C-alpha cells in the first residue's frame, strides 16, 4: 500500500511516518511540494504519486493565531481540505483526514460521540476545521475523519513540552486551568489506531481517536510532574484568569462510539499513554 501524508513534518505527521514506515510505502509531503491550497498542483501530485490512501494532517492549528488570521485559517483548513478531498475522489484514493474536538462548542455535559451534530464552536479554528470536514464529506465519499484532542507527541509543540519547560525551578508555583476537561492523547496512541484503521478499508465515516479517561489541564499537569518526579507546585485556576484570543471549550471530551461499533479495541488510558511517552524520546 502506498500512503501519501500531507503535513508530514508536523507533530502527528512525524509520528505516523515513524509508525507506518516498516509496513507501507510512504510519500511524506509538506510545503512547498505538498501545497494543499494549490488545487491543480495537489491534483497533479496525487496523479503522479498514485497513492492508495492519503492521510491528511496538514492544517493551521495555532488556535489563537486563527482568530487574527481568519482568511488564512479557512484557506488551509477548509479550502485546502476540499482540494485534498476532490483530488482523492478524482483519483479513487481513500482519504483519512485528521480533525479536532474544537468542531463542538464545548457546552455539553457529557462526552461528544460521532453522531452528535457539531456546529464549529466559537473559534475560527473550530469553524474552519468543521468547514473542512463538510467539504470532505461532500467531495470524497470514501473518507474517514479522525478527530483527536489535547494532542502531544515527540518534538512537540504540546502542553507536555510547555509544562516541562516551565518547571525549570524558577517559578515557586504554576497556575493551570482546572475548569476545562478533555482526553489527553498521545500521537502514538492515535497513530496506532490509524494503523488499525488502515487494515479496515471498508470503514468510512467519523471516528474519535482520543485516549480513554478524562482530566482537566491542572490534573494533566500534575500527572506530568508526578511521572517525571518533578517537585513543582501546581495551583488550580479558572479559565477567566487566563483570557485568550480564542475561547477554549469547557468540555473537550470525546466518546469513542464508532470504535466500539466497528469492533475495534479501546484506546489506551491517558495516564498509560503519558507514562509511555515520558519514558521515551520526547
DSSP 145-193: EEEE-SEE-TT--SHHHHHHHH-SSS-SEEEEE-S-EE--EEHHHHHHH
pLDDT for position 180: 98
pLDDT attached to residue 47: 98
CB atoms within 10 A of CB 33: 10
- Any idea where the domains of the chain sit in the sequence? 2-157+183-213+253-269
Give the pLDDT confidence score for residue 27 in this predicted structure: 98
CA 245 to CA 64: how far, in whole Å?
5
56 forms bridges with which residues in the sheet?
Answer: 6, 97
Provide the 8-state DSSP code for 107. Answer: -
Integer Cα distance of 22 and 1 in angstroms: 11
Residue 5 bridge partners (DSSP) = 28, 55
Find out whether 5 and 13 touch, Cβ atoms under 8 Å: yes
Residue with cell 509496513: 23
| C-alpha cell recorded at residue 229 | 518526579
**Mind telling me the catalytic residues?**
125
Residues of the chain with pLDDT under 70: none
Predicted local distance difference test score (pLDDT) of residue 212: 98
**What does the pLDDT read at residue 281?**
85
Fold of 2-157+183-213+253-269: Rossmann fold (3.40.50)
Query: From residue 234, how far is each of 30, 184, 277 by CA, in Å?
Result: 38, 18, 21
Question: d(Cα 110, Cα 53) in Å, to the nearest integer?
Answer: 33
Amino acid at each position: 500500500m502506498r500512503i501519501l501524508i500531507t503535513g508530514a513534518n508536523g507533530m502527528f505527521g512525524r509520528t505516523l511516518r515513524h509508525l507506518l514506515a516498516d509496513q507501507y510505502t510512504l510519500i511524506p509531503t509538506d510545503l512547498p511540494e505538498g501545497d494543499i491550497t494549490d488545487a491543480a498542483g495537489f491534483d497533479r501530485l496525487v496523479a503522479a504519486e498514485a497513492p492508495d490512501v492519503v492521510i491528511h494532517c496538514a492544517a493551521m492549528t495555532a488556535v489563537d493565531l486563527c482568530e487574527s488570521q481568519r482568511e488564512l485559517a479557512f484557506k488551509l483548513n477548509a479550502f485546502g481540505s476540499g482540494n485534498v478531498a476532490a483530488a482523492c475522489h478524482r483519483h479513487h484514493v481513500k482519504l483519512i483526514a485528521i480533525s479536532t474536538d474544537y468542531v463542538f462548542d464545548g457546552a455539553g455535559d457529557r462526552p461528544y460521540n460521532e453522531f452528535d451534530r457539531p456546529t464549529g464552536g466559537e473559534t475560527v479554528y473550530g469553524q474552519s476545521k468543521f468547514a473542512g470536514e463538510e467539504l470532505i464529506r461532500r467531495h470524497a465519499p470514501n473518507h474517514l475523519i479522525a478527530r483527536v484532542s489535547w494532542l502531544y507527541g515527540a518534538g512537540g509543540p504540546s502542553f507536555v513540552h510547555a509544562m516541562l519547560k516551565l518547571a525549570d525551578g524558577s517559578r515557586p508555583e504554576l497556575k493551570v486551568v482546572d475548569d476545562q476537561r478533555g482526553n489527553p492523547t498521545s500521537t502514538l496512541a492515535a497513530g496506532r489506531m490509524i494503523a488499525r484503521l488502515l487494515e479496515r478499508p471498508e470503514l468510512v465515516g467519523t471516528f474519535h481517536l482520543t485516549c480513554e479517561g478524562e482530566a482537566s489541564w491542572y490534573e494533566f499537569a500534575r500527572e506530568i510532574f508526578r511521572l517525571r518526579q518533578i517537585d513543582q507546585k501546581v495551583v488550580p485556576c479558572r479559565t477567566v484568569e487566563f483570557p485568550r484570543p480564542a475561547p477554549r471549550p469547557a468540555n473537550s471530551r470525546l466518546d469513542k462510539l464508532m470504535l466500539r461499533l466497528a469492533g475495534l479495541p479501546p484506546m489506551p488510558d491517558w495516564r498509560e499513554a503519558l507514562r509511555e511517552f515520558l519514558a521515551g524520546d520526547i
